[in-house]
Structure 1
C-alpha cells in the first residue's frame, strides 16, 4: 500500500510544473529532447541515486 501511495505522490509532483508553468516546462522538455542518450542516462542515474539517498536518510531519521 505504501508503494502505491508513493507512486501517487510522484504523479502529483510530476504534474505540478506543467500545471503551474507550462511554458517553462515545455522549453525544458525541448532542451532535454536534444540531449544525447549518454547525457539522459547520467541524469537518470543521478536521479536514482538522489532518490535512494533521500529515502535512506528519511528512513534513518524517521525510523
Structure 2
C-alpha cells in the first residue's frame, strides 16, 4: 500500500506553521526587485544556509 500526501495540503500546513511561528525559514539575504541580477549572482554561489528573497513592494 502506498500513501501520497496532497501537495496543496502540505504547502498549506507549512504556511500555517510559518505564520504561527512554529517553524522558521532561514533567510540568507534580501534584495529589492531592482537588484534581481545581484540576487541571482548570490544564488549561483550555491553555498550557505538560507533563502534568497526578492522584495516586491514594501511588504517584507
TM-score by length of 2: 0.32
* Structure number with higher strand proportion: 2
* Structure number with higher helix proportion: 1
